[in-house]
Protein backbone atom coordinates (compact mmCIF):
# COMPACT_ATOMS: atom_id res chain seq x y z
CA UNK A 1 0.00 0.00 0.00
CA UNK A 2 3.11 2.22 -0.07
CA UNK A 3 3.59 2.57 3.67
CA UNK A 4 7.16 2.91 4.96
CA UNK A 5 7.89 0.00 7.27
CA UNK A 6 10.60 0.06 9.92
CA UNK A 7 11.77 -2.03 12.89
CA UNK A 8 12.28 1.11 14.92
CA UNK A 9 9.45 2.48 17.05
CA UNK A 10 11.53 5.59 17.71
CA UNK A 11 11.72 6.25 13.96
CA UNK A 12 7.93 6.14 13.67
CA UNK A 13 7.59 8.65 16.51
CA UNK A 14 10.29 10.92 15.14
CA UNK A 15 8.72 11.06 11.66
CA UNK A 16 5.06 11.32 12.64
CA UNK A 17 2.89 13.76 14.52
CA UNK A 18 -0.05 11.38 14.84
CA UNK A 19 0.97 8.01 16.23
CA UNK A 20 -1.35 5.00 16.60
CA UNK A 21 -0.48 2.46 19.29
CA UNK A 22 -1.68 -0.78 17.77
CA UNK A 23 0.05 -3.38 19.95
CA UNK A 24 -1.46 -5.96 22.31
CA UNK A 25 -2.30 -4.49 25.74
CA UNK A 26 0.46 -6.37 27.59
CA UNK A 27 3.09 -4.78 25.31
CA UNK A 28 1.97 -1.19 25.79
CA UNK A 29 4.19 -0.33 28.77
CA UNK A 30 7.32 -1.76 27.14
CA UNK A 31 6.63 0.14 23.93
CA UNK A 32 5.87 3.43 25.69
CA UNK A 33 8.95 3.15 27.89
CA UNK A 34 10.96 2.80 24.68
CA UNK A 35 9.55 5.80 22.84
CA UNK A 36 8.78 8.10 25.77
CA UNK A 37 11.87 10.30 25.43
CA UNK A 38 10.99 11.10 21.81
CA UNK A 39 7.42 12.17 22.58
CA UNK A 40 6.77 15.93 22.53
CA UNK A 41 3.67 18.01 23.36
CA UNK A 42 3.10 18.25 19.57
CA UNK A 43 2.59 14.52 19.23
CA UNK A 44 -0.89 12.96 19.26
CA UNK A 45 -0.92 9.39 20.53
CA UNK A 46 -3.95 7.26 19.80
CA UNK A 47 -4.18 3.95 21.65
CA UNK A 48 -6.39 1.10 20.46
CA UNK A 49 -5.20 -1.19 23.29
CA UNK A 50 -8.25 -2.66 25.01
CA UNK A 51 -8.42 -2.13 28.75
CA UNK A 52 -5.45 0.26 28.93
CA UNK A 53 -6.70 3.45 30.56
CA UNK A 54 -5.81 7.04 29.72
CA UNK A 55 -4.30 7.31 33.20
CA UNK A 56 -1.94 4.40 32.49
CA UNK A 57 -0.96 5.84 29.13
CA UNK A 58 -0.37 9.33 30.56
CA UNK A 59 1.77 7.95 33.38
CA UNK A 60 4.05 6.16 30.93
CA UNK A 61 4.60 9.28 28.82
CA UNK A 62 6.06 12.75 29.49
CA UNK A 63 3.60 15.01 31.33
CA UNK A 64 1.11 16.91 29.20
CA UNK A 65 1.39 14.37 26.36
CA UNK A 66 -1.66 14.37 24.10
CA UNK A 67 -3.27 10.96 24.44
CA UNK A 68 -6.52 9.62 23.00
CA UNK A 69 -8.15 6.23 23.51
CA UNK A 70 -9.99 4.69 20.60
CA UNK A 71 -12.35 1.71 20.62
CA UNK A 72 -13.30 0.44 17.13
CA UNK A 73 -15.31 -2.66 16.21
CA UNK A 74 -15.07 -5.38 13.60
CA UNK A 75 -17.09 -3.80 10.75
CA UNK A 76 -14.49 -1.02 10.58
CA UNK A 77 -12.85 -3.36 8.08
CA UNK A 78 -15.77 -2.64 5.74
CA UNK A 79 -15.94 1.05 6.62
CA UNK A 80 -19.15 0.41 8.56
CA UNK A 81 -17.64 0.42 12.02
CA UNK A 82 -18.63 2.17 15.23
CA UNK A 83 -15.77 4.01 16.91
CA UNK A 84 -15.70 5.82 20.24
CA UNK A 85 -12.89 8.24 21.06
CA UNK A 86 -12.01 9.37 24.56
CA UNK A 87 -9.62 12.28 24.99
CA UNK A 88 -6.91 12.49 27.63
CA UNK A 89 -6.28 15.54 29.83
CA UNK A 90 -3.93 17.20 27.36
CA UNK A 91 -5.98 16.43 24.25
CA UNK A 92 -8.02 19.46 23.26
CA UNK A 93 -11.50 19.42 21.72
CA UNK A 94 -9.85 20.56 18.51
CA UNK A 95 -7.66 17.48 18.41
CA UNK A 96 -10.68 15.28 19.16
CA UNK A 97 -12.61 16.81 16.25
CA UNK A 98 -9.65 16.52 13.93
CA UNK A 99 -9.29 12.83 14.71
CA UNK A 100 -13.04 12.29 14.39
CA UNK A 101 -12.91 13.71 10.85
CA UNK A 102 -9.82 11.74 9.98
CA UNK A 103 -11.42 8.48 11.07
CA UNK A 104 -14.83 9.14 9.50
CA UNK A 105 -14.19 6.67 6.65
CA UNK A 106 -14.31 3.93 9.32
CA UNK A 107 -18.03 4.45 9.74
CA UNK A 108 -19.65 6.08 12.74
CA UNK A 109 -17.13 7.98 14.90
CA UNK A 110 -18.14 9.65 18.15
CA UNK A 111 -16.30 11.35 20.98
CA UNK A 112 -17.18 10.63 24.60
CA UNK A 113 -15.87 10.38 28.16
CA UNK A 114 -13.59 7.48 28.96
CA UNK A 115 -16.28 5.99 31.21
CA UNK A 116 -18.29 5.11 28.10
CA UNK A 117 -15.54 3.08 26.44
CA UNK A 118 -16.39 -0.13 28.31
CA UNK A 119 -20.10 0.19 27.52
CA UNK A 120 -19.18 0.80 23.90
CA UNK A 121 -17.17 -2.42 23.96
CA UNK A 122 -20.17 -4.30 25.34
CA UNK A 123 -22.62 -2.72 22.93
CA UNK A 124 -20.75 -2.48 19.69
CA UNK A 125 -17.57 -4.50 20.08
CA UNK A 126 -19.38 -7.59 21.33
CA UNK A 127 -22.71 -6.46 19.89
CA UNK A 128 -21.54 -7.58 16.47
CA UNK A 129 -21.31 -11.15 17.76
CA UNK A 130 -24.77 -10.88 19.35
CA UNK A 131 -26.08 -9.98 15.89
CA UNK A 132 -24.34 -13.05 14.45
CA UNK A 133 -26.09 -15.26 16.99
CA UNK A 134 -29.43 -13.65 16.14
CA UNK A 135 -28.77 -14.19 12.42
CA UNK A 136 -28.00 -17.86 12.95
CA UNK A 137 -31.18 -18.29 14.99
CA UNK A 138 -33.29 -16.49 12.35
CA UNK A 139 -31.93 -18.86 9.74
CA UNK A 140 -32.58 -21.89 11.97
CA UNK A 141 -36.16 -20.72 12.31
CA UNK A 142 -36.54 -20.58 8.55
CA UNK A 143 -34.95 -24.00 8.16
CA UNK A 144 -37.41 -25.38 10.68
CA UNK A 145 -40.16 -23.93 8.54
CA UNK A 146 -38.88 -25.61 5.38
CA UNK A 147 -36.32 -23.29 3.78
CA UNK A 148 -32.92 -24.66 2.74
CA UNK A 149 -30.09 -23.58 5.03
CA UNK A 150 -27.83 -21.57 2.73
CA UNK A 151 -30.72 -19.54 1.35
CA UNK A 152 -32.02 -18.97 4.86
CA UNK A 153 -28.61 -17.67 5.95
CA UNK A 154 -28.33 -15.25 3.00
CA UNK A 155 -31.79 -13.89 3.63
CA UNK A 156 -31.20 -13.57 7.37
CA UNK A 157 -28.05 -11.53 6.73
CA UNK A 158 -29.84 -9.25 4.28
CA UNK A 159 -32.77 -8.84 6.67
CA UNK A 160 -30.51 -7.65 9.47
CA UNK A 161 -28.58 -5.41 7.09
CA UNK A 162 -31.78 -3.87 5.77
CA UNK A 163 -33.17 -3.34 9.24
CA UNK A 164 -29.90 -1.74 10.31
CA UNK A 165 -29.96 0.66 7.38
CA UNK A 166 -33.54 1.66 8.11
CA UNK A 167 -32.63 2.29 11.75
CA UNK A 168 -29.63 4.38 10.82
CA UNK A 169 -30.97 6.33 7.87
CA UNK A 170 -34.60 7.06 8.81
CA UNK A 171 -33.64 8.38 12.20
CA UNK A 172 -36.86 6.90 13.58
CA UNK A 173 -37.04 5.25 16.97
CA UNK A 174 -36.82 1.44 16.70
CA UNK A 175 -40.23 1.12 18.38
CA UNK A 176 -41.68 3.34 15.69
CA UNK A 177 -40.16 1.27 12.93
CA UNK A 178 -41.43 -1.87 14.61
CA UNK A 179 -44.97 -0.47 14.72
CA UNK A 180 -44.77 0.33 11.02
CA UNK A 181 -44.04 -3.32 10.20
CA UNK A 182 -46.75 -4.70 12.45
CA UNK A 183 -50.07 -4.99 10.69
CA UNK A 184 -52.93 -5.71 13.11
CA UNK A 185 -53.33 -9.42 13.76
CA UNK A 186 -50.53 -10.08 11.31
CA UNK A 187 -47.52 -12.37 11.20
CA UNK A 188 -45.10 -9.90 12.78
CA UNK A 189 -47.30 -9.30 15.80
CA UNK A 190 -47.44 -13.02 16.43
CA UNK A 191 -43.71 -13.45 15.93
CA UNK A 192 -42.86 -10.54 18.22
CA UNK A 193 -45.04 -12.00 20.93
CA UNK A 194 -42.98 -15.18 20.80
CA UNK A 195 -39.78 -13.11 21.07
CA UNK A 196 -41.10 -11.24 24.07
CA UNK A 197 -42.19 -14.47 25.74
CA UNK A 198 -38.63 -15.67 25.30
CA UNK A 199 -37.34 -12.66 27.21
CA UNK A 200 -35.16 -11.44 24.38
CA UNK A 201 -34.97 -7.88 25.70
CA UNK A 202 -33.74 -8.88 29.14
CA UNK A 203 -31.31 -11.36 27.60
CA UNK A 204 -29.90 -8.64 25.37
CA UNK A 205 -29.52 -6.19 28.23
CA UNK A 206 -27.82 -8.95 30.23
CA UNK A 207 -25.46 -9.60 27.32
CA UNK A 208 -24.39 -5.99 27.00
CA UNK A 209 -24.02 -5.78 30.78
CA UNK A 210 -21.91 -8.94 30.98
CA UNK A 211 -19.61 -7.80 28.19
CA UNK A 212 -19.28 -4.31 29.69
CA UNK A 213 -18.52 -5.66 33.16
CA UNK A 214 -15.85 -7.90 31.71
CA UNK A 215 -14.31 -4.93 29.86
CA UNK A 216 -14.21 -3.02 33.15
CA UNK A 217 -12.64 -5.96 34.94
CA UNK A 218 -9.96 -6.30 32.29
CA UNK A 219 -9.29 -2.58 32.51
CA UNK A 220 -8.72 -2.86 36.25
CA UNK A 221 -6.01 -5.51 35.95
CA UNK B 1 12.15 -46.96 31.90
CA UNK B 2 10.03 -47.80 34.94
CA UNK B 3 6.88 -45.97 35.92
CA UNK B 4 5.36 -45.36 39.33
CA UNK B 5 2.04 -44.02 40.54
CA UNK B 6 1.55 -42.38 43.91
CA UNK B 7 -2.15 -43.04 44.28
CA UNK B 8 -3.98 -46.04 42.89
CA UNK B 9 -7.39 -44.60 42.12
CA UNK B 10 -9.31 -43.95 38.92
CA UNK B 11 -6.63 -41.80 37.32
CA UNK B 12 -3.80 -44.25 37.90
CA UNK B 13 -5.96 -47.14 36.78
CA UNK B 14 -7.04 -45.36 33.58
CA UNK B 15 -3.52 -44.35 32.64
CA UNK B 16 -2.02 -47.79 33.30
CA UNK B 17 -4.79 -49.41 31.29
CA UNK B 18 -4.03 -47.12 28.39
CA UNK B 19 -0.25 -47.45 28.54
CA UNK B 20 -0.38 -51.23 28.68
CA UNK B 21 -3.07 -51.54 25.99
CA UNK B 22 -0.97 -49.42 23.65
CA UNK B 23 2.05 -51.56 24.42
CA UNK B 24 4.14 -48.56 25.41
CA UNK B 25 5.15 -50.11 28.72
CA UNK B 26 4.78 -53.52 30.36
CA UNK B 27 2.69 -53.76 33.53
CA UNK B 28 5.47 -55.39 35.53
CA UNK B 29 7.52 -52.24 35.09
CA UNK B 30 4.79 -50.23 36.79
CA UNK B 31 4.53 -49.76 40.56
CA UNK B 32 1.57 -48.15 42.30
CA UNK B 33 1.06 -47.24 45.92
CA UNK B 34 -1.85 -46.27 48.07
CA UNK B 35 -2.62 -46.53 51.80
CA UNK B 36 -6.07 -47.87 50.94
CA UNK B 37 -5.91 -51.45 49.67
CA UNK B 38 -9.69 -51.87 49.43
CA UNK B 39 -10.18 -49.71 46.35
CA UNK B 40 -11.58 -51.57 43.33
CA UNK B 41 -8.96 -49.83 41.23
CA UNK B 42 -6.24 -51.46 43.36
CA UNK B 43 -7.68 -54.86 42.44
CA UNK B 44 -7.83 -53.78 38.83
CA UNK B 45 -4.20 -52.66 38.85
CA UNK B 46 -3.04 -55.89 40.48
CA UNK B 47 -4.92 -57.88 37.85
CA UNK B 48 -3.11 -56.00 35.12
CA UNK B 49 0.17 -57.14 36.62
CA UNK B 50 1.16 -53.86 38.29
CA UNK B 51 3.36 -54.10 41.39
CA UNK B 52 1.27 -52.78 44.26
CA UNK B 53 2.57 -51.52 47.60
CA UNK B 54 1.34 -49.41 50.51
CA UNK B 55 4.67 -47.60 50.56
CA UNK B 56 5.04 -44.39 48.57
CA UNK B 57 8.76 -44.53 49.25
CA UNK B 58 9.00 -47.94 47.61
CA UNK B 59 7.21 -46.65 44.52
CA UNK B 60 9.58 -43.71 44.37
CA UNK B 61 12.68 -45.93 44.65
CA UNK B 62 11.45 -48.25 41.92
CA UNK B 63 10.44 -45.60 39.38
CA UNK B 64 12.12 -43.33 36.89
CA UNK B 65 8.90 -41.62 35.94
CA UNK B 66 6.69 -40.89 38.90
CA UNK B 67 3.06 -39.86 38.49
CA UNK B 68 1.42 -38.07 41.40
CA UNK B 69 -2.11 -39.30 40.95
CA UNK B 70 -3.65 -38.18 44.20
CA UNK B 71 -6.23 -35.50 44.97
CA UNK B 72 -4.78 -31.98 44.87
CA UNK B 73 -4.95 -31.36 48.61
CA UNK B 74 -2.87 -34.47 49.30
CA UNK B 75 -0.02 -33.45 46.97
CA UNK B 76 1.92 -31.36 49.52
CA UNK B 77 1.94 -34.20 52.07
CA UNK B 78 3.04 -36.75 49.49
CA UNK B 79 5.88 -34.52 48.34
CA UNK B 80 6.86 -34.00 51.96
CA UNK B 81 7.01 -37.76 52.45
CA UNK B 82 8.93 -38.74 49.33
CA UNK B 83 10.96 -35.54 48.95
CA UNK B 84 14.16 -36.98 50.49
CA UNK B 85 13.97 -39.94 48.10
CA UNK B 86 13.78 -37.92 44.90
CA UNK B 87 16.93 -38.08 42.79
CA UNK B 88 18.14 -36.48 39.58
CA UNK B 89 16.98 -39.44 37.55
CA UNK B 90 13.38 -38.93 38.62
CA UNK B 91 10.80 -37.34 36.37
CA UNK B 92 7.86 -36.18 38.46
CA UNK B 93 4.50 -35.62 36.82
CA UNK B 94 1.82 -34.07 38.93
CA UNK B 95 -1.56 -34.94 37.51
CA UNK B 96 -3.12 -32.18 39.58
CA UNK B 97 -1.19 -29.58 37.61
CA UNK B 98 -0.97 -31.60 34.41
CA UNK B 99 2.34 -30.23 33.27
CA UNK B 100 3.70 -32.41 30.46
CA UNK B 101 7.27 -32.52 29.26
CA UNK B 102 8.57 -33.91 26.00
CA UNK B 103 9.80 -37.32 27.19
CA UNK B 104 6.41 -37.85 28.87
CA UNK B 105 4.39 -36.65 25.89
CA UNK B 106 5.02 -39.83 23.96
CA UNK B 107 3.81 -41.85 26.93
CA UNK B 108 0.75 -39.69 27.30
CA UNK B 109 0.12 -39.71 23.58
CA UNK B 110 -0.34 -43.46 23.82
CA UNK B 111 -3.58 -42.86 25.74
CA UNK B 112 -5.01 -40.18 23.46
CA UNK B 113 -4.65 -36.55 22.52
CA UNK B 114 -1.76 -34.85 24.26
CA UNK B 115 -0.98 -31.17 24.22
CA UNK B 116 0.80 -28.66 26.39
CA UNK B 117 -0.97 -25.69 27.88
CA UNK B 118 0.00 -22.80 30.16
CA UNK B 119 -0.49 -23.84 33.77
CA UNK B 120 -3.19 -21.26 34.36
CA UNK B 121 -5.34 -22.94 31.71
CA UNK B 122 -5.27 -26.33 33.43
CA UNK B 123 -8.45 -25.54 35.36
CA UNK B 124 -10.28 -24.72 32.15
CA UNK B 125 -9.00 -27.98 30.65
CA UNK B 126 -10.42 -29.80 33.69
CA UNK B 127 -13.76 -28.06 33.26
CA UNK B 128 -13.99 -29.04 29.64
CA UNK B 129 -12.25 -32.32 28.94
CA UNK B 130 -11.66 -33.50 32.50
CA UNK B 131 -15.33 -33.33 33.41
CA UNK B 132 -16.48 -33.56 29.80
CA UNK B 133 -16.94 -37.32 29.74
CA UNK B 134 -19.39 -36.99 32.63
CA UNK B 135 -21.44 -34.47 30.66
CA UNK B 136 -21.45 -36.90 27.74
CA UNK B 137 -22.48 -39.85 29.94
CA UNK B 138 -25.36 -37.81 31.32
CA UNK B 139 -26.40 -36.80 27.81
CA UNK B 140 -26.18 -40.39 26.61
CA UNK B 141 -28.26 -41.64 29.51
CA UNK B 142 -30.94 -39.10 28.68
CA UNK B 143 -30.76 -39.76 24.95
CA UNK B 144 -31.27 -43.44 25.67
CA UNK B 145 -34.27 -42.53 27.85
CA UNK B 146 -35.68 -40.66 24.89
CA UNK B 147 -35.17 -43.69 22.67
CA UNK B 148 -36.81 -45.97 25.20
CA UNK B 149 -39.74 -43.59 25.54
CA UNK B 150 -40.23 -43.80 21.80
CA UNK B 151 -40.14 -47.61 21.82
CA UNK B 152 -36.51 -48.74 21.51
CA UNK B 153 -35.12 -51.43 23.80
CA UNK B 154 -32.71 -49.91 26.36
CA UNK B 155 -29.49 -51.61 25.22
CA UNK B 156 -30.08 -50.69 21.62
CA UNK B 157 -30.95 -47.12 22.60
CA UNK B 158 -27.69 -46.79 24.55
CA UNK B 159 -25.61 -48.14 21.68
CA UNK B 160 -27.28 -45.94 19.09
CA UNK B 161 -26.86 -42.86 21.25
CA UNK B 162 -23.21 -43.60 21.96
CA UNK B 163 -22.48 -44.26 18.31
CA UNK B 164 -24.23 -41.06 17.29
CA UNK B 165 -22.08 -38.95 19.62
CA UNK B 166 -18.95 -40.88 18.65
CA UNK B 167 -19.63 -40.31 14.97
CA UNK B 168 -20.40 -36.64 15.46
CA UNK B 169 -17.24 -36.07 17.47
CA UNK B 170 -15.14 -37.87 14.87
CA UNK B 171 -16.69 -35.86 12.04
CA UNK B 172 -15.94 -32.63 13.86
CA UNK B 173 -12.35 -33.59 14.62
CA UNK B 174 -11.76 -34.60 11.00
CA UNK B 175 -13.48 -31.57 9.51
CA UNK B 176 -12.38 -28.01 8.84
CA UNK B 177 -15.97 -26.88 9.21
CA UNK B 178 -17.44 -25.09 12.20
CA UNK B 179 -19.80 -27.20 14.35
CA UNK B 180 -22.58 -24.73 13.48
CA UNK B 181 -22.09 -25.55 9.80
CA UNK B 182 -22.04 -29.29 10.54
CA UNK B 183 -25.30 -28.83 12.43
CA UNK B 184 -26.82 -27.08 9.40
CA UNK B 185 -25.62 -29.91 7.19
CA UNK B 186 -27.74 -32.42 9.11
CA UNK B 187 -30.83 -30.25 9.51
CA UNK B 188 -33.03 -30.71 6.50
CA UNK B 189 -35.65 -27.98 6.02
CA UNK B 190 -38.74 -28.60 8.13
CA UNK B 191 -37.27 -31.87 9.20
CA UNK B 192 -37.10 -33.84 12.40
CA UNK B 193 -33.71 -32.63 13.51
CA UNK B 194 -34.42 -28.91 13.35
CA UNK B 195 -37.63 -29.49 15.28
CA UNK B 196 -35.65 -31.33 17.92
CA UNK B 197 -32.94 -28.65 18.08
CA UNK B 198 -35.56 -26.05 18.71
CA UNK B 199 -36.48 -27.94 21.87
CA UNK B 200 -32.87 -28.02 22.97
CA UNK B 201 -32.49 -24.29 22.43
CA UNK B 202 -35.74 -23.60 24.30
CA UNK B 203 -34.34 -25.42 27.27
CA UNK B 204 -31.20 -23.31 27.25
CA UNK B 205 -29.04 -26.25 26.21
CA UNK B 206 -26.07 -24.14 25.20
CA UNK B 207 -25.96 -22.08 28.37
CA UNK B 208 -26.28 -25.20 30.52
CA UNK B 209 -23.15 -26.59 28.94
CA UNK B 210 -21.30 -23.29 29.34
CA UNK B 211 -22.41 -23.18 32.99
CA UNK B 212 -21.15 -26.73 33.53
CA UNK B 213 -17.70 -26.06 32.15
CA UNK B 214 -17.48 -22.85 34.15
CA UNK B 215 -18.61 -24.52 37.40
CA UNK B 216 -16.09 -27.31 37.03
CA UNK B 217 -13.29 -24.87 36.29
CA UNK B 218 -14.17 -22.63 39.25
CA UNK B 219 -14.46 -25.58 41.62
CA UNK B 220 -11.06 -26.88 40.49
CA UNK B 221 -9.52 -23.51 41.32
CA UNK B 222 -11.25 -23.48 44.72
CA UNK B 223 -9.90 -26.91 45.55
CA UNK B 224 -6.39 -25.96 44.56
CA UNK B 225 -6.65 -22.81 46.65
CA UNK B 226 -7.83 -24.83 49.64
CA UNK B 227 -5.02 -27.31 49.12
CA UNK B 228 -2.52 -24.47 49.18
CA UNK B 229 -4.01 -23.20 52.46
CA UNK B 230 -4.06 -26.50 54.29
CA UNK B 231 -2.05 -26.55 57.54
CA UNK B 232 -2.42 -30.19 58.60
CA UNK B 233 0.79 -31.83 59.76
CA UNK B 234 1.92 -34.52 57.33
CA UNK B 235 2.71 -36.89 60.19
CA UNK B 236 -0.93 -36.77 61.22
CA UNK B 237 -2.12 -38.08 57.88
CA UNK B 238 -2.45 -41.83 58.03
CA UNK B 239 -4.82 -42.33 55.12
CA UNK B 240 -5.54 -40.12 52.16
CA UNK B 241 -9.30 -40.40 52.23
CA UNK B 242 -11.38 -37.31 52.84
CA UNK B 243 -13.11 -38.55 55.98
CA UNK B 244 -9.77 -39.33 57.56
CA UNK B 245 -8.52 -35.84 56.70
CA UNK B 246 -11.64 -34.42 58.31
CA UNK B 247 -10.96 -36.24 61.59
CA UNK B 248 -7.69 -34.39 62.06
CA UNK B 249 -7.60 -31.64 64.68
CA UNK B 250 -8.05 -28.20 63.26
CA UNK B 251 -9.80 -29.35 60.11
CA UNK B 252 -13.35 -28.20 59.61
CA UNK B 253 -15.96 -28.73 56.93
CA UNK B 254 -15.34 -25.33 55.37
CA UNK B 255 -11.56 -25.53 55.42
CA UNK B 256 -11.63 -28.74 53.41
CA UNK B 257 -14.13 -27.20 51.04
CA UNK B 258 -16.79 -29.91 51.10
CA UNK B 259 -19.45 -27.26 50.64
CA UNK B 260 -19.12 -25.81 47.22
CA UNK B 261 -18.94 -22.07 47.00
CA UNK B 262 -19.86 -22.23 43.35
CA UNK B 263 -23.31 -20.72 43.09
CA UNK B 264 -24.83 -20.61 39.66
CA UNK B 265 -28.47 -20.50 40.63
CA UNK B 266 -29.03 -17.16 42.28
CA UNK B 267 -29.46 -15.27 39.06
CA UNK B 268 -31.13 -16.53 35.90
CA UNK B 269 -29.18 -14.10 33.85
CA UNK B 270 -25.66 -15.04 34.72
CA UNK B 271 -22.99 -16.58 36.84
CA UNK B 272 -22.01 -14.96 40.10
CA UNK B 273 -18.52 -15.99 41.06
CA UNK B 274 -17.89 -16.94 44.68
pLDDT above 60 (res A60): yes
Q: Output the CA–CA distances (angstroms, integers) from residue B32 to A195, B62, B81, in the order listed.
A: 58, 10, 16
According to the model, what pLDDT value does residue B249 have?
60
Average the pLDDT over A56-66 and give the result. 93
Its ipTM equals 0.70
What chain B residue is nearest to A203 in terms of C-alpha separation?
B269
According to the model, what pLDDT value does residue B234 have?
42
Closest C-alpha among A148, A113, A126 to residue A73: A126
Contacts of B151 (CB under 8 A, 6+ apart): none
Query: Pick the residue with more confidence: A167 or B252?
Result: A167
Q: Tell me the shortest Cα–Cα distance from A152 to chain B, in angstroms.
A: 10
Disruptive mutation site among A140, A202, A212 for chain B (greatest number of B CBs within 10 Å): A140
According to the model, what pLDDT value does residue B267 have?
39
Are the beta carbons of B270 and A210 separated by less than 8 Å?
yes
According to the model, what pLDDT value does residue B98 have?
40
- Asked if B187 and A143 touch (Cβ cutoff 8 Å), the reply is yes
According to the model, what pLDDT value does residue B107 have?
52
- pTM (2 decimals)? 0.67
According to the model, what pLDDT value does residue A219 have?
81
Q: Tell me the shortest Cα–Cα distance from B36 to chain A, in angstroms.
A: 45
CA B95 to chain centre: 9
Extract the runs of DSSP E, i.e. beta strands, from B13-140. Answer: 30-33, 51-53, 65-68, 91-94
Phi, psi of B232, deg, nearest 5: -75, 140
Closest C-alpha among A7, A8, A13, A67 to residue A36: A13
Are the beta carbons of A149 and B195 separated by less than 8 Å?
no
Q: Output the CA–CA distances (angstroms, integers) from residue A105 to A67, A80, A108, A165, B103, in the order listed.
A: 21, 8, 8, 17, 54
Span A180-211, pLDDT tens digits:
999 999 999 999 999 999 999 999 999 999 99
Integer Cα distance of A82 and A74 in angstroms: 9
Say what percent of chain A tops pLDDT 90: 89
Average pLDDT by stretches of 10, chain B with 274 residues: 91 92 89 91 93 93 90 74 78 62 51 70 88 95 95 96 97 94 94 95 94 92 75 42 53 48 43 40
Are the beta carbons of A143 and B270 separated by less than 8 Å?
no
Integer Cα distance of A182 and A186 in angstroms: 7
Closest C-alpha among B206, B228, B272 to residue B96: B228
pLDDT band at A46 (very low <50, low <70, confident <90, very high): very high
Q: Which residues of B touch A149 (CB under 8 A)?
A: 184-185, 187, 189
Span A77-109, pLDDT tens digits:
999 999 999 999 999 999 999 999 999 999 999
Q: Which residues of A touch B190 (CB under 8 A)?
A: 143-146
Closest C-alpha among B32, B56, B36 to residue B241: B36
According to the model, what pLDDT value does residue B184 have?
94
Are the beta carbons of B194 and A143 separated by less than 8 Å?
yes
Amino acid sequence: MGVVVTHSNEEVVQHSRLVFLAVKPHLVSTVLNGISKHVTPQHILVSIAAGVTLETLEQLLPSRSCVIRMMPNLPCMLQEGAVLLACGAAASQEVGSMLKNLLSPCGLVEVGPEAWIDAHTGLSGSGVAFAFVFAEALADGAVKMGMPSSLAHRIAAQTILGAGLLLRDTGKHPAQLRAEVCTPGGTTAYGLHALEKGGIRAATVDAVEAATERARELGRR
Amino acid sequence: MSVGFIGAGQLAHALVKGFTAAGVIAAHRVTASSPDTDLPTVTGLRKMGVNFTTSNKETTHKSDVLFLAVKPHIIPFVLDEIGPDIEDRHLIVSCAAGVTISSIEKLMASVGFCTEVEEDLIDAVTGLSGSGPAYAFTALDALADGGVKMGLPRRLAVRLGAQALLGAAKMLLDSEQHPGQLKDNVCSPGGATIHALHFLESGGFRSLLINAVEASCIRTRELQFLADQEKISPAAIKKTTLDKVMQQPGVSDTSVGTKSRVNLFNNMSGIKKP
